[in-house]
Amino acid sequence: MSHFFSEFSRGDNGNPYKSLRFLVVEDQAAARQTLRMCIQSMGGFSVDMAQSHGEAMSRLRNRMPDVIICDYILGNSRTGQQLLEELRREGELPHDVVFIMVTAERGYEQVISAVELVPDDYIIKPFAPELLRTRLEKVIRKKQVFSRYYLHRNSADWDGALEELDRLAQSPAAAHHRYDVMRQRADTLMRAERHGDAAEAYEAILEEHPFPWAKAGYARVLQRSNRLAEARALVDSVIAQVPRYFEAYDLKAEICTEMGEHGEAVAALQTASALTPHNWSRKRALAVAASRNGDVATVARVMAEVMAQGDLAGEGLEAVVEMTRCAVEVRNHALAAQLLAAIKPEQLDKAGEEIRLSLECLTVLAEGSAGGPRFDRIRARLVKMQLFSVDGAIDVVRAALLHADRQLANMTAAKVLAGPEARRSFKALLAVYCQHGLEEGFRDLQREVASQRLMSRTRH
């Protein structure tokens, strides 16, 4: 949108909107046409349309527009807020792209007051074209102020981003955006892994006002600094302060998972999911947490709810992998096969070796006893793979034990138990070994790993 910033800053008396690409996301045909005419009346020419969450994701991934105008209710149990959150969390929405929510919900202001990821602006329907023009101009002028910061941030140039924020903190042009500058600075320090500086930045904000988002941000810094008990206490205070701050429940679940308290993670996500019944990414997270907690009944129930939405279009590969793992957990191999078949070739082309091997292992598990030849083909790659995540390692252990390869299973499990994720992974690994009647063997392996760690500490 840099071309637009330059035209806008010159006060072009022509038509600065003609160069912008718009995407309208609206499930009602008449409303889509109304929004198109509204955009055209203010000078916009390039207007693309999407009538569903899945179609919107597909169009956005094909070509990112300059402005997204999205209805809050999208049909098929989806919301524009959910679309926004998914785009932001997956890093698929550039910071210089405008996202404006339109809604007939008079209570939407209460909705966005309790969420971390908010649109650039929102408009209550019905509205006149001039109101859209005014709101869009306001948002773009703000993005113009932060444009150089966005360039640094989008390229992960954290030092450059921080220098620009320091400049903005002294700039009269950014005076109305003081807390935005402070918030972005704290977040950028965290992304730069300067956790001590990020903590100080959030503390400075909280000294001025106890913003829930600042508390949540500080809790995340504490989490990344491995100060988990403090992080949990702080995020609990956020939930007590704003019970409908749903991202705080997600953060609490992450912290509890790292602490090995999977039951607490499940409880947090169940509470948030009950209040946001159409947030399918949160339900997927609940299914994963329940799987780690060995709660097969909850996994089965939540997976049924997720699949009942019936729309996998636009889902990222990570989401499909998560759902496939959950299907394997409840031994619904037909569902696992259905999910695996939904993966597109272009998604696989972009996947790393670890994801590819996890998918191979999940396919082995979905095939059951018939998956032996596939397992034999990938075994050498599994042995060589060094960087498995906890979930990826558990995929390998499951596949290895299914085909009686105790050596590979123990080698993989031992790597996890010897690493920083031991506490988080213990219960899930134990459950897998117990499924094969190997609880005592797992306990022996755990003791062996603990002994080796103790000997290593003694030597050093």
DSSP labels for 183-240?
HHHHHHHHHTT-HHHHHHHHHHHHHH---HHHHHHHHHHHHHTT-HHHHHHHHHHHHH
What is residue 15's predicted lDDT score, i.e. its pLDDT? 73
Q: Are the C-beta atoms of 221 and 198 separated by less than 8 Å?
A: yes
- Calculate Rg over the CA atoms of the chain: 24
Alpha-carbon distance of 431 to 294, in angstroms, equals: 7
114 pLDDT above the threshold of 60: no
| CB environment 242-278: b (16+ within 10 A), e (fewer) | beebbbbbbbbbbbbbbbbbbbbbbbbbbbbbeebeb
What is residue 7's predicted lDDT score, i.e. its pLDDT? 52
Q: Are the C-beta atoms of 306 and 283 separated by less than 8 Å?
A: yes
- Looking at every residue in the chain, the average pLDDT score rounds to 87
The mean per-residue pLDDT over the stretch 355-374 comes to: 91
What is residue 315's predicted lDDT score, i.e. its pLDDT? 61
Count CB atoms within 10 A of the CB of residue 294: 18
pLDDT, tens only, 224-281: 999 999 999 999 999 998 888 888 999 999 999 989 899 999 999 999 998 888 777 8
- Residues with Cβ within 8 Å of 319's Cβ and at least 6 positions away in sequence, in order, are 281, 284
What is the DSSP code string of 362-419? HHHHHHGGGGHHHHHHHHHHHHH-----HHHHHHHHHHHHHTT-HHHHHHHHHHHHTS
222 confidence band (pLDDT: 50, 70, 90): very high
Distance (Å) of CA 407 to CA 166, 377, 396, 401, 433: 55, 16, 12, 9, 13
What is residue 339's predicted lDDT score, i.e. its pLDDT? 85
Question: Does domain 1-142 correspond to CATH entry 3.40.50.2300?
Answer: yes
Q: Are the C-beta atoms of 248 and 216 separated by less than 8 Å?
A: yes
The mean per-residue pLDDT over the stretch 176-184 comes to: 94
Written in H, E and C, the secondary structure of 333-349 is HHHHHHHHHCCCHHHHH
pLDDT, tens only, 115-143: 667 899 989 888 888 899 999 999 999 99
For a pLDDT cut of 70, what percent of the chain falls above it? 92
Q: Look at residue 351 and give its three-state secondary structure.
A: coil
What is residue 459's predicted lDDT score, i.e. its pLDDT? 65
Written in H, E and C, the secondary structure of 121-157 is EEEECCCCHHHHHHHHHHHHHHHHHCHHHHHHHHCCC
Q: What are the extents of the domains in the chain?
A: 1-142, 379-460
